[in-house]
Each structure stands twice: as C-alpha cells, then as structure tokens.
Amino acid sequence: MKAREMMDKNYLSVKAFDSIENVSKIMEDYKRFTCPVVDDNNKLIGWVTALDITKGLREGNDKISEIMHKPEETNALKEEDSARKAVLEVNEDRVLAIPVFDDNEILKGIIRSFDVIETFSELYETKVYKIYEAMQGQLKGVTWDELMKASAIVSTRTTGVKITPEEYDKNIHNATFGNAVWATGGLENFFVGLISVGEMVIARKIGQRRK
C-alpha cells in the first residue's frame, strides 16, 4: 500500500495572508486540528495546528504567516512512499497529520491519524470465517464440516474448554481477526492455532487419499 492510497485528497488548506481569526473559524467548522498552508500553486509553505492558533489568538498575532511552522519542521511523504512509513511516523512522532507530495513538491493529500486507524480497522474487522474460507479454498477437497470439527478439537485441546463444531462455526462468524488475535494472545498464537487445524485436516486428507 502506498501513501497515495491512504491519503485524504479532500483536505482543507489556508493561505499565509489569511487572518488567524478566520482560520480558527474554518478549523472549528470543519473540525480540523491541523491545517496546511499553501501558496497559489498548492505548494506547502507552512503548517498550523489548533494549538498554534490558541497561542496566536492569546498573544494577539494577526496573520497565519506569523505563527505557522516551516515545511521543514513537519513530517512529509511522497505519494509513492510506503503507507507503512506514514504509520511509523504517526506512531513515533505522534503527529495528527502528514502532508503527501508529488515529485514537484506540490501538496496532493494529507494522511491523518484517522486514515491510519481506518486502514488498520479494516484489517482488524476481517471476520475470522473469511480466513477459514480462504483456507478451505486452498486445501482442496476439505469440507467445511471437517474444518469445523478439527477446529473444535484444537480449540478444546488448547483452552481446556469443550466446544462443539457447531459452536465453533457460530463463533468465527461473529469474531473478527482483532478479537481472535487478542483472545489467543498475539498474532503468532493465532496463526499457530490455524496451522494446527490445517495440520489435522491435511493429515486426514492425505490419509484418505492413500486408502
């Protein structure tokens, strides 16, 4: 995934000669806590946050140009950069938004912390049965019932709590990947569980083939 695919193209921008008062109204109306400052060619020339605005208002400044940060002081990404870079920077530098540029330094979009969370959420909200369906598709000849039976056995063995194949089936239709990772205590554990199930049905499949 590229920064280009994660960024919001409908960002709000202001001009250096705008008054702090007007920009504060715009940011309030659009509920934006940070805002890029651009020139007429949409080149980034500065950056303001709501906290720069509070300071500017308090100290009696007039224009955005008096309070804005320089572009060099903000994180910046290219459209072709990996989205992972955005995630790492938002996480490490705890910035609410990162501007994304094309090769001519023109501002093309903004990646906000919400865009990062949205991308993550999609992954986290993947239903577990979708992963089982993919598994069944790969393990040609294995039925859904066999998969549920093996899963119930593995689950009972791992947790010590008895569960029927029918209950397991119902559970994975409700559970998300995020639930499952947290419930099993981590990504590796989650995959180990799936691999155990795979191992069991594959062994059975190969056994039957040889009969």
Q: Decide if 77 contacts 3 (C-beta within 8 A).
A: yes
43, 55, 70, 173: which one contacts a copy of itself (CB under 8 A)? 55
Is residue 77 within a helix (H) or strand (E), and if so which, with residue range?
strand 77-78
Distance CA 164, CA 168 (A): 6
Complex with a copy of itself: residue 106 or 117, whichever CB lies closer = 117
The distance of closest approach from Cβ of residue 166 to a copy of itself in the complex, given in angstroms and rounded to an integer, is: 23
Measure the CA–CA gap between 179 and 16, rounded to whole angstroms.
46
- Helix 187-210 vs helix 177-184: crossing angle, to nearest 10: 100
Q: How far is the CB of 131 from a copy of itself (least distance, A)?
A: 5
Residue 203 interacting with a copy of itself (CB under 8 A)? yes
| Residue from the set 12, 75, 133, 153 that interacts with a copy of itself by CB under 8 A | 133
Least Å from the CB of residue 26 to a copy of itself: 11
Contact characters 81-120, a copy of itself, x per CB under 8 A: -xxx--xx-xx--x-x----------------xx-xxx-x
The 10 Å Cβ neighbour count of residue 1 is 11
